[in-house]
A and B are shown apart, each in its own frame.
Chain A
């Protein structure tokens, strides 16, 4: 298994090099850091030279990229120019903690909700609840994140304006006044709810399909025929197998969540990875851009691999050559 995991990780290295180079190159050509100085009459030559030095503008892009790769291999992601020259990896680490404050609770709620909804509507296929749930999940996948987030904000503001009651904060991660548990709940509730609704809509449909496939299979009929109670058959024989294909989806969803939810974080003024990344792209802060890209890529690679390894453990028929 260790050999398999090593091989899998090594196989991603060329792709990672190509992908990071494309992003490096596109970001580098997306603007000119010197443009701001073109109209600056107070700046002297030394400021100009400093910018050239900071952005390594005197070197061709492939050389800059190679330098970055050599640093990154040694764990040195360079200084983040747009963050007062702080270490890019340290900036990303701080923001990842903030992102995780939304990602972890959202992910846990999504898994519980999606499994419950998916299994219930599969077991009661074509019932009224199933139709209602299916329609709702259609609505969920047709609802862009930013529209739903804005609607939640508008609702919270309306509540405040009409009743003077303010159960939730519509922006920011914490208030200056206090950082207690209640305060945390009030600021986390709406962004977490946004993520939960949007992701649950898709995931519950996968879960429903997976469960349907299982309960229509022969061994479930056998289990029922030999007289096992319906509950045992569904939960022990059915659900366990219907969860296996979900492992990959959970892994990818969790990796995506931890990589930063750009829209949700932007709308709720959350100091996470998403807004950091867009800001870094817009000022061509390459070290910071690449640090975020590396984090999101590594998350996807690692969680994907973990999901595949979990397959072998959950389903002994699966072997790794």
Chain B
């Protein structure tokens, strides 16, 4: 316990995080996956749109470890490029959601009143009109480009983060250090973003990490249904959609990209879980 006192909060959090073996392993795996998605296509002798007419619709082999699709494109390089697009979209969703959710949540928590009531009504609206409904309608019109689908998904999932941020702001805004800052003449913006916001980084980071998993699942599901990113741009979701017709003869073409989706999501969820334990000093192991 005495050793604890000598360490700062960041150091303690890191020590707690390091003990979470699954989370540490997940970071390593996620980095490896990201490197594979980015570097893999550069090292591969094929481009993602190259066709090899001597090897159409093949199962896994030495020349094509993941096999080829019906028009002879190498599925390994397509899976990696697809993974890169999926990961990029998921990160974009996470960034937009975090920014929008944090600003609106902060305003709702600090000012209360109309902003807070509007946020409540917005959340209720999505509870009543299922967000998947709006997602389908929006995605079928705007969602065919990678950045567009990211914006569409982000616009629908930010309220959950905003609610978390609002909760934290409510908790801190009546505390003495905020009063002290007010007394010292700090502006409202300074109090919100310099004094209160750093205290809420913990829950924000945890939620942002978990959002990566949600985002990958939402994007790949929409792309799988043909409502998201459309070919020729490959994503993990539309690769599976292309392969599902050949499930009988060549299940690997659908199951390999599926395994990558599960891998990325699982890593994000484990890291989020580890961060939750590490960043919350009051939390036990659970």
Q: Which residues of chain A have a CB within 8 Å of any CB of chain B?
A: 12, 15-16, 18-20, 22-23, 26-27, 29-31, 125-126, 138-139, 141-147, 150-151, 153-154, 157-158, 161, 209, 212, 256, 259, 262-263, 266-267, 277-278, 281-282, 292-293, 296-297, 300-301, 304
Given the interface pairs A157-B251, A158-B251, the reply to whether A147 lies near B258 with Cβ below 8 Å is: yes
The chain B residue sitting closest to A146, CB to CB, is B224
Given the interface pairs A15-B124, A281-B137, A297-B130, the reply to whether A138 lies near B269 with Cβ below 8 Å is: yes
Please determine whether A30 and B262 come into contact, CB atoms closer than 8 angstroms. no
Please determine whether A293 and B129 come into contact, CB atoms closer than 8 angstroms. yes
Q: Report the minimal beta-carbon distance from A162 to chain B, rounded to whole angstroms.
A: 12
Q: Which residues in B have their C-beta under 8 angstroms from that of A126?
A: 285
B225 within 8 A of A: yes
Chain A contact surface mostly:
helix
Q: Which residues of chain B have a CB within 8 Å of any CB of chain A?
A: 121, 124-125, 127-130, 132-134, 136-138, 140-141, 213, 217, 220-221, 224-225, 227, 240, 244, 247-248, 251, 254-255, 258, 261-262, 265-266, 268-270, 273, 285-286
Among A23, A147, A157, A282, the residue within 8 A (CB) of B247 is A157
Q: Which residues in A have their C-beta under 8 angstroms from that of B273?
A: 138
The chain B residue sitting closest to A126, CB to CB, is B285
Given the interface pairs A142-B213, A154-B251, A263-B225, the reply to whether A26 lies near B128 with Cβ below 8 Å is: no
Give Cα distance in the complex from A75 to B28, angstroms.
57
Please determine whether B265 and A300 come into contact, CB atoms closer than 8 angstroms. no
Please determine whether A23 and B130 come into contact, CB atoms closer than 8 angstroms. no
Q: List 15 A-B contacts (CB under 8 A).
A: A19-B128, A20-B129, A27-B137, A138-B270, A144-B258, A144-B261, A146-B221, A147-B255, A147-B261, A147-B262, A150-B255, A154-B251, A161-B248, A262-B132, A297-B130
Please determine whether A150 and B269 come into contact, CB atoms closer than 8 angstroms. no
Please determine whether A22 and B224 come into contact, CB atoms closer than 8 angstroms. no
Q: Which residues in B have their C-beta under 8 angstroms from that of A147?
A: 240, 255, 258, 261-262
Q: Which residues in A have their C-beta under 8 angstroms from that of B244?
A: 150, 267
Given the interface pairs A138-B270, A154-B251, the reply to whether A23 lies near B133 with Cβ below 8 Å is: yes
Q: Report the minimal beta-carbon distance from B227 to chain A, rounded to whole angstroms.
A: 8
Which residue, of B125, B128, B134, has the highest number of chain A Cβ atoms within 10 A? Answer: B128
Please determine whether A23 and B134 come into contact, CB atoms closer than 8 angstroms. yes
Give Cα distance in the complex from A263 to B285, angstroms.
35
Please determine whether B129 and A26 come into contact, CB atoms closer than 8 angstroms. no
Chain B contact surface mostly:
helix
Please determine whether A300 and B128 come into contact, CB atoms closer than 8 angstroms. yes
Please determine whether B138 and A151 come into contact, CB atoms closer than 8 angstroms. no
Please determine whether B121 and A15 come into contact, CB atoms closer than 8 angstroms. yes
Give Cα distance in the complex from A153 to B136, angstroms.
25
Q: Which residues in B have their C-beta under 8 angstroms from that of A292?
A: 133
Given the interface pairs A147-B261, A266-B225, A297-B128, the reply to whether A30 lies near B140 with Cβ below 8 Å is: yes
Q: Which residues in A have their C-beta under 8 angstroms from that of B138?
A: 26
Q: Report the minimal beta-carbon distance from B149 to chain A, rounded to whole angstroms.
A: 15
Give Cα distance in the complex from A49 to B13, angstroms.
69
Which residue, of B124, B129, B132, B244, has the highest number of chain A Cβ atoms within 10 A? Answer: B129
Given the interface pairs A26-B141, A154-B254, A263-B225, the reply to whether A301 lies near B262 with Cβ below 8 Å is: no
Q: Which residues in A have their C-beta under 8 angstroms from that of B134?
A: 22-23, 26
Among A15, A142, A150, A282, the residue within 8 A (CB) of B266 is A142
Give Cα distance in the complex from A292 to B134, angstroms.
12
Q: Which residues in A have their C-beta under 8 angstroms from that of B125?
A: 15, 18-19
Closest 6 CB pairs of A and B: A19-B129, A147-B258, A142-B265, A154-B251, A142-B266, A30-B141
Q: Which residues in B have their C-beta under 8 angstroms from that of A266?
A: 225
Give Cα distance in the complex from A139 to B133, angstroms.
26
Q: Report the minimal beta-carbon distance from A107 to chain B, rounded to whole angstroms.
A: 17
The chain A residue sitting closest to B130, CB to CB, is A296
Q: Report the minimal beta-carbon distance from A267 to chain B, rounded to whole angstroms.
A: 8
Q: Report the minimal beta-carbon distance from A17 to chain B, rounded to whole angstroms.
A: 10
Give Cα distance in the complex from A304 to B251, angstroms.
41
Please determine whether A142 and B262 come into contact, CB atoms closer than 8 angstroms. yes
Given the interface pairs A139-B266, A297-B128, the reply to whether A144 lies near B247 with Cβ below 8 Å is: no
Q: Report the minimal beta-carbon distance from B113 to chain A, rounded to whole angstroms.
A: 19
Q: Report the minimal beta-carbon distance from B82 to chain A, rounded to whole angstroms.
A: 14
The chain A residue sitting closest to B270, CB to CB, is A138
Q: Which residues in A have their C-beta under 8 angstroms from that of B255?
A: 147, 150-151, 154
Please determine whether A153 and B247 come into contact, CB atoms closer than 8 angstroms. yes
Q: Which residues in A have their C-beta under 8 angstroms from that of B286?
A: 125, 209, 212
Given the interface pairs A22-B129, A23-B129, A23-B137, the reply to whether A150 lies near B254 with Cβ below 8 Å is: yes
Please determine whether A281 and B221 come into contact, CB atoms closer than 8 angstroms. no
Which residue, of A15, A144, A146, has the highest number of chain B Cβ atoms within 10 A? Answer: A144
Q: Which residues in B have their C-beta under 8 angstroms from that of A300?
A: 127-128, 130
Which residue, of B133, B134, B213, B240, has the highest number of chain A Cβ atoms within 10 A? Answer: B133
Please determine whether B265 and A263 come into contact, CB atoms closer than 8 angstroms. no
Q: Report the minimal beta-carbon distance from B248 to chain A, rounded to whole angstroms.
A: 5
The chain A residue sitting closest to B213, CB to CB, is A142
Please determine whether B213 and A26 come into contact, CB atoms closer than 8 angstroms. no
Please determine whether A144 and B221 come into contact, CB atoms closer than 8 angstroms. yes
Among B137, B240, B268, the residue within 8 A (CB) of A30 is B137
Give Cα distance in the complex from A13 to B146, angstroms.
36
Q: Report the minimal beta-carbon distance from A168 to chain B, rounded to whole angstroms.
A: 14
Known: A147-B262, A262-B136, A300-B128. 10 other contacts (CB 8 A): A15-B124, A23-B137, A144-B265, A146-B224, A150-B254, A154-B247, A154-B254, A154-B255, A259-B130, A262-B225
